[in-house]
Each structure stands twice: as structure tokens, then as C-alpha cells.
Structure 1
């Protein structure tokens, strides 16, 4: 499938900011299931924009505005072609214990995705859930699909119920949240069981124009899901918000240990002032 992606961010300051700096993770990834055919980034006020690849392999763009300004506009536009993930049939008979052993021998990078973080902790409740879902003798693919389905069926998608500072324990208690929360829940359970997994940010096509009853749930601005590291250094995407294997309607932007590693905008400004933020994202199939 081919999509145009438009992501516009507009900050308005009540009083002029004397300067500001920012990092952006808005450029879609090119990889086995996705090709970025074109990309544009516009920043107003107009300033030089640099770029680099971070530790996790994400494209990061950055800029500084060293003068007074009352607004900041960022417009990212891309043309992206997606394709289905490759089959994971080769892993259907691989147990969790076997997968752990194979990955531990072959992928040093996967160690980073087994460790807890502030947003993806390990605790008593998570250890109980881990024992419920992850058995060393169970098949890795079957285990992941069961966990994906359990989160979908037992958590309610409620925008505004949480924010990025809401502890995971609170999300587990409320059983409600958004895609970011559900991805963190799944990551915590998987990592508690020694299964390397990472957080993915991106976009989804909410409605398939060719199919009835095809709506996918997700945030208007961006979406989040999980990728599990499988033997053979394969990353397999699952979307617990929609109980789906990630497919052509998912557009991948960045991956990391948790939301903090892949936040679309990270920045600060100098000045004592209030700010208003507007974000508009549009995904169109071509």
C-alpha cells in the first residue's frame, strides 16, 4: 500500500520566547516492510535543520531558533509504501525457552530490550501476569498472540484517562488507557519473562476505504505498538490496541525501549510564557 503522511505541529506562545531548541522523530523508517519514497520537513521560523541516527537506529532531526519568536510551525510530509510482514511460521514450533537461548547467543543488542525502564517497570503484579502468560515450554508465537489478545479484551481504550506520566501500575489498576499504555503493559510482561521487545511509534490508517467494518483504534496524532525479537534477529510487530499482527496499514516511524526513546517532539524554550499546541495528522491512501 502507498500512503501520504502529513504531520503538522503548531506552537503559539503567549509572550515571545527568546530562543528554543528541539529534536524531532517524525521521519518514517525504511526497512523490510516499508520504503520511504519522499520526505519534506518545513520549520518556521526558517532555520537550518540537522539530522543524525540515534542509538536505536531512528532518524532524528534537530534545530535551534536563537532569536525571539511567538510561534513555531513544523510540517513533516512523507510518501511511504508498506507491505505485509514476512511469515513467522519458521518460529511456530520454537518455545519461549529456546527463543531466549538463541537470541542470547546471537543478539547483543537485544539485551537493551530485556531491561526494565521507568515507563516499562517490573513489579509484583507484572510478575504475576508473567507467570500467567509466559511459560518456558510454551511456543513463543502462541504466547505473544495470546498476550496481545488479552490486553485487547481486558483494557478499555479511553483517550484522556492517562498521560505520559501515569505509572504503569495505575494503568493496570484502571484497565483503561491509550495505545501508548497498552504497548507499555505488553512490553513489561514480555520483558519480565525474558523476552526482548521494543516500543514502536508510528501511524495507522484508521479506516480501510475498500473494506466495511475495518476501523482500527488509535490516537489521531500517532499510534504505538510492540515488536518482539525472534530467533534469526527478526522483529515481529503486534498491535495490542487492535489485537492485530502489524500490517500494511501501520506506518513505522521510530523504535526504542519505551515512549521516551521515540517521542515525536522533544524540546525546550527560554522565556516565562504559556504555550498552546495544535497537532494535525492526515494519512491518505494513494
Structure 2
């Protein structure tokens, strides 16, 4: 099964004092992957930049670097496009046993962007956390497969967490969210990645979009009005990467559109940069994902 979506993402900044100059790195363009294709789409800015460079980062994510060398009271970054998303055929659990994963990892000699070796140790925003590691170990039973262990941790975190957009900020650490048992998709995904790595399962962060309008008769998924986050886990050489949405206790599928993949949020932030200014600023994010 496949599904096309018309997608709009708008990120706007309003500055209390006009910014004298700014430089921003954007990751807003959806990826082309075996399970999805960008049919058409473009990232624009208002006002138009003085400098622009479209590129690809190490992990294969499309990037747009822009700079404005003038005073700005506000700026808007916009993506509009259409994406075709294919469903996962599913099938049997062919992943290796959890205790066999180190041996399977040792057989992977590549250090390319998709190599699981990049996703096993600590990353900029995800240090090792003994409390999260203990929670993850409690989810893994003896003899469990890597895929089953990842599923179990996803379901356990979904049950443990209350989805609360007011509880955390973008800078909240995983251990803070874990102790509060409250947060949004970024927090729950960061906690799951930390737990999977503690189990020896390579895990990465996926940012993207979630279907806004649910299929008839189904409940609306949490996190559908903003950019969404979920988790990818490497479950052995036979199975490879599998994606989990712990916020909604489901595997990622046709409702999910990938924009960027990285070790944690720092690798995939939709907009980050620097500017010369003073005072505060307001930020708004608007997402619209409409099935075609």
C-alpha cells in the first residue's frame, strides 16, 4: 500500500530587535528513500537570502544553508511539496538474538552513513544514563530477539509516558524527561534511543511528518500538528533497520514521512544557526500533511 501527501512546513521567527545578520542551516526537504519518494518540492525563504547553498550532509539528509546580510525583523522558512510513501510489507521476525548482536555488528566493516557503528555509542545529546539503561534491561527477557526487545521498550515507554507538550522544551535532557515521565515525541524518542544503545542495539533519531488526518474510524495520532520524531533500530544483518514510533506505540509506516536521520536531534534539527541581535524572539512552526 502506498499513500501520497501534500505537505507544508513553515518555520517563522519574529525578533524583538531587528537581527543585523543571520546564517541558518535548514533540514526541511523530505528524503528520497526506498520507502518514500519526493515527487516535487522546494524550500524557500522570505525574504530571499543573500547566499544559498543546497547540499547533502553525512547521513544523506538534504540541507539548505542560507544567510541574510541585512536587518530583519522577521524571517520565514517554507517547504511545500508532495511525497509518495510506501507501506512496510512486514513479515516474520528474522532478527538475531539480542545476545548475538555484538557478533553481527563485528561483521559490519562499513563506516558509511548507514553503518550501525555510528549509532551505538553516546552522541552529542545522548550520554549514557544508568536509570534509563536499567529500565531498558527490565524490558528485555532472556532469549529475546533484537527486534522483540526494541518493540518491548517502545511499548513500555508509551505506557510510562504522558504526552505533554507543556512539560518539556527542545533543550530538555532525556533523563529529565524520563524522571518526569512526561514530554513529547522528541523526549520519548531520545529516551528510547538511550535505552536501546544501553542494550547494545544501534539506534538513531528520525525527524519528519505524521499524517494529520487519520483514516476513517481511527484515532488521531499524537504529534500530528508539528514535526514528529521516531526511532530507528538496527536489529541484525538479516533484518537491518526498523523504525518505531514509541509516542504512538506503533511501527513507523505509511503515516510517517522522513525528513532527516541522525544520531539524535542535534543531527536533524529543521533550523539552526546564528545571528547578530539582542532581545528576545518568537518562533512558530506550522505543519500540514494532507493525504492526496
TM-score by length of 2: 0.91
Shift of 1:205: 0.8
2:121 to 105, 115, 126: 115
Shift of 1:118: 4.5
Q: 1:89 aligns to what SS in structure 2?
A: coil
**Superposed counterparts of 1:117-266, under 5 Å:** 117-134=123-140, 137-208=143-214, 210-218=215-223, 220-230=225-235, 231-232=237-238, 234-266=240-272
Distance 1:272 1:219 in 2: 33
1:283 to 272, 277, 289: 289
Q: Is 1:103–1:233's contact at 8 Å kept on the other side of the alignment?
A: no
Residue of structure 1 equivalent to 2:88: 85
Distance 2:273 2:124 in 1: 20
Q: 1:49 aligns to what SS in structure 2?
A: strand
Distance 1:273 1:171 in 2: 29
Shift of 1:9: 1.7
Residue of structure 1 equivalent to 2:74: 71
Residue of structure 2 equivalent to 1:57: 60
Shift of 1:217: 0.7
Which string of whole-angstrom CA distances, capped at 9 and with x for unpartnered residues, describes residues 179-220 of structure 1? 001101110111011110100000101332x42133111152
Distance 1:88 1:200 in 2: 22
Distance 2:40 2:62 in 1: 14
Which string of whole-angstrom CA distances, capped at 9 and with x for unpartnered residues, describes residues 26-71 of structure 1? 0101111100000112212212421111122111111111122222
The yes-or-no answer on 1:103 pairing with 2:105 is yes
1:11 to 10, 13, 21: 13
Distance 2:169 2:208 in 1: 18
TM-score by length of 1: 0.93
Q: 2:279 aligns to what SS in structure 1?
A: coil
Q: Is 2:154–2:246's contact at 8 Å kept on the other side of the alignment?
A: yes
Distance 2:123 2:224 in 1: 23
Q: 2:107 aligns to what SS in structure 1?
A: helix
Shift of 1:3: 0.2
